[in-house]
Amino acid sequence: MVGVLVIAIVAGALSVTTFGVIPWAQNEAAKAYLTEVSDAESAAKLPNPTIQQSGRYLPNDLLATAGFLDERAGATVATDLGGTCFAAVAKSDSGPVYWVSDRSPKPLLYLGDHDPCTDLSAMVAAVGGAQGLTSVTNLLTNPSWEAVTPGTALLRSNLTQSPAVQSVAGWSVSAAGGAAQGSAGGKIGPAGASYKGTVAATSGSASIAIAATAPGGFIPAASYTASIYGTVTWNAVTFASISWFDASGTLIGTTSGSASAQTAGAVARRSVAGVAPTNAATATVQFVTDSSAPPKVGDTASASAALFERTTSLRTYFDGSTVDTNGWAFAWDGPASVAMATPVESRRNLASYTNGLGFMPDVTGAGFRNSRAPANVTYSIVPTPTDAAALSARSYVRKTWKAVTTGAGNGFALTQADPDSASPGTDTGLPVDAGQTYTISSYVKASATGKAALVRVRFFTPGSGWVGAATSGASLSLSANAWARPRLTITAPTGATMAAIVVDTGAGTTNWKAGDTFDATQLLIEEGSALQSYFDGTTGSGGGASQEWVGEEGKSPSRAMSPLPAGAESSLSGNDRVATVGGTAWKTDGAQSIRISALGDGTATSVTVAGSGAGLSGHGVTLEPGKTYTMVGTAQLSVTQKGTLDSRARSIVFADSTTGDAGIRSDQLPNVVGAGDLRLTFTVSPSATWATIRLFNGASVGNGDVSWDHLALIEGEYTGPAFNGNTPRTDQVRYDWAGPGNASASTMHRYR
């Protein structure tokens, strides 16, 4: 036993007290012995002609035999076979174990350490084990988002078999009130072939339906959107529908879209949204003619380009043979088609010629053009402008008036088709999808006061005329030589395939006079209802890890790309779809964090980091029924969130088959700029069949991103901080990875 003699002077006399057991003194005694071991091994390593065992490191019995160091109870010294290295452990009478080695000659508290020379754990066991040493495991395998998913990420899946009639298999025709015959047809819409139904007989109000098969893979109660292109040889009324079938082939339900008039020879895209019945095994999407405008014998209806997706929105058609124009890889996956990408495209500026590097020629698309009121103005480009530094604009386009002109209708055309013309004729515009919402904006500046600016749009189908009237955004009053940003959010109506757009001058209070100028730059056209910060392939912040031009710099659409950090499951379809961005602008641990960016108009935006909506295992973690866990993480806002927010915004959410999708959440990060730690302790239901842990954004597109970093999932109730295998060691705590770094669980070793 180690004793300590404490002498104190009390009222002129000596007071003597003996403490028989003091842990600090016992620990120091163990460390002091190990310091003696290091000194003894240094001496043994030196060649000495009088000592036979010298010139090498020695185990404890030979150290004692050679007279270098006496053996000690509760301690041991070991070497490799050649004596080229050593390690020693000594147990304190209070329980902890300390160790040294030739690589670490200063005594260290044993915290489950490893040494390449000897098996430290076996040596510790030989001296009675490290009493009070505990281990806590972080079950997450990429807790600080340092690892990025390689390969491709599945973004979309077209469930239709032979969607572009690559084969007539999977296509059929039926007639109500008559008979029809099916055969292969010519090109329709974006597909290279079609399936044609010819009316063979009629009786009264006949109709015809061309059907494409989706052979399976449906999730019960999930939302799907289907679309199909079709044409007819008579003036008809057409719509799309979904027929659902069970495993026996029995029809169990039909979902129909809205019907619209379709003139003979015109091509229309019809769509329908529906929810899969519980026992749906297969389905068909049909192009249907309504009986209110029946065909006659010999009339034909043809259809192609069928798209069947798990999503709530109508998106552009694709199949496995689609040419890669977006940086996506398209492929066939059995009877279905898939679109894949890595990294994920999180934003796209649909406009070309966006920042004044040139004027757009008269081709399909949207960008600044020099084709509006050319008789009254001259057009020019202002390169490297100093007055646009605040916009980070590299250049802008300019109109200079040659004579007095009224204030309105003198802006920049963005498309070949003019929304103010009597008819678009065969002019082209920005391709759009009916039902899709778009937000259009541009920065503009006038040289004189009393001017105004706005965005105006009109939808059309080339060769078929306008679809509805022109719509203008709010007119902004312009101060002289000050940049402003007019904008318009609008949804493409049924029947529209293109948009005619102009960034126009409003009525204002004064006319334009000779020498006045109107400038524009940073044109942004995006899907969705949010006005977001400007970006292109070079300039601005696209909210992704990288930005790039889809084609030629300054003359093509641009996109922001976001890598998928390993272990984070994005929702890349539906109204609540998100992209996960590996971000470096803010992080609390390692080189990057994850930023959750909403891509749709829904607010249930989140990423799953453990478990699965289809079971208990996912992302390298199995959440066991009946067990309690604690999830810890740090969240951050660079801007406050706005708009309608989910009640789970900025929180950790656990859900299982008992709680339902709403689940239970942690406290919320305050909706102010800054970061904070969040914690949630929960118990998985004993009867749970699925369980998930999600990190929430909780806002829709454009209403604020949430970043997350430094996560830990620990079994039991845990009150400590997050950690991983990269966390620096201290004198009292050590951390390591169970396997590869940033790709395995990690463990914290400490004494109670």
28: which DSSP letter?
H
Q: What is the pLDDT of residue 221?
A: 82
499-511 exposure pattern, b = at least 16 Cβ within 10 A, e = fewer: bbbbbbbbebeeb
CA distances from 648 to 562, 665, 696 (A): 24, 7, 7
154 Cα distance to chain centroid: 12
> What is the reported pTM?
0.54
Total domains present in the chain? 4
Read off the pLDDT of residues 369-425 as tens digits, 9 standing for 90 and up.
Answer: 888 777 788 999 988 777 766 677 778 999 999 988 777 778 899 999 999 999 999
Same domain assignment for residues 689 and 613: yes
Q: What is the pLDDT of residue 563?
A: 58
Same domain assignment for residues 625 and 736: yes
Both tokens of 364, joined, read 């399909």
Tell me the three state secondary structure of residue 664.
strand
546 Cα distance to chain centroid: 13
Whether 716 maps to a domain, the answer reads yes
Whether 511 maps to a domain, the answer reads yes
Same domain assignment for residues 280 and 393: no
716 Cα distance to chain centroid: 30
Q: Give the containing element (helix H, strand E) for 184.
A: strand 171-185
Same domain assignment for residues 661 and 719: yes
Within 8 A by CB and 6+ apart from 577, the residues are: 570, 571, 598, 599, 600, 602, 605
Whether 674 maps to a domain, the answer reads yes
Q: Integer distance in angstroms from the first to the last C-alpha of the chain?
A: 23
Domain harbouring 219, CATH code: 2.60.120.260
Q: Residue 121: which domain range?
A: 25-131
Whether 697 maps to a domain, the answer reads yes
Same domain assignment for residues 367 and 274: no
Q: What is the dihedral of CA 350, 352, 354, 357, to 10 degrees?
A: 160
Same domain assignment for residues 305 and 435: no
Q: What is the pLDDT of residue 342?
A: 47
Report the distance separating Cα 51 and Cα 47, nearest Å: 8
Report the distance separating Cα 543 and Cα 243, nearest Å: 40
Q: Which of 518, 549, 580 is the last residue of a domain?
A: 549
Same domain assignment for residues 288 and 207: yes
Report the distance separating Cα 556 and Cα 549, nearest Å: 6
Same domain assignment for residues 522 and 570: no
- 343 preceded by cis ω (within 30°)? yes
Contact 179, 197 (CB under 8 A): no
Count CB atoms within 10 A of the CB of residue 219: 12
Q: What is the pLDDT of residue 531?
A: 87
Q: Which of 495, 524, 549 is the last residue of a domain?
A: 549
Q: What is the pLDDT of residue 681?
A: 98
Amino acid sitting at position 445: K
Within 8 A by CB and 6+ apart from 511, the residues are: 404, 405, 406, 407
Whether 554 maps to a domain, the answer reads no
Q: Which of 309, 333, 354 is the last residue of a domain?
A: 309
**Residues with pLDDT less than 70, the chain:** 1-21, 148-156, 204-205, 323-329, 334-346, 362-363, 388-390, 540-546, 561-575, 579-585
Q: What is the pLDDT of residue 367?
A: 87
Whether 18 maps to a domain, the answer reads no
Both tokens of 62, joined, read 């030979």
Same domain assignment for residues 46 and 118: yes
Whether 56 maps to a domain, the answer reads yes
540: which DSSP letter?
B
Whether 146 maps to a domain, the answer reads no
Domain harbouring 125, CATH code: 3.30.1300.70
Both tokens of 108, joined, read 């260290």
Contact 117, 80 (CB under 8 A): yes
Which residue in the block uniquely carries the two structure tokens 């007095």? 404
Same domain assignment for residues 375 and 489: yes
Same domain assignment for residues 537 and 590: no
Q: What are phi and psi of 38, to 5 degrees?
A: -60, -45
Both tokens of 525, joined, read 């056209």
Same domain assignment for residues 664 and 693: yes
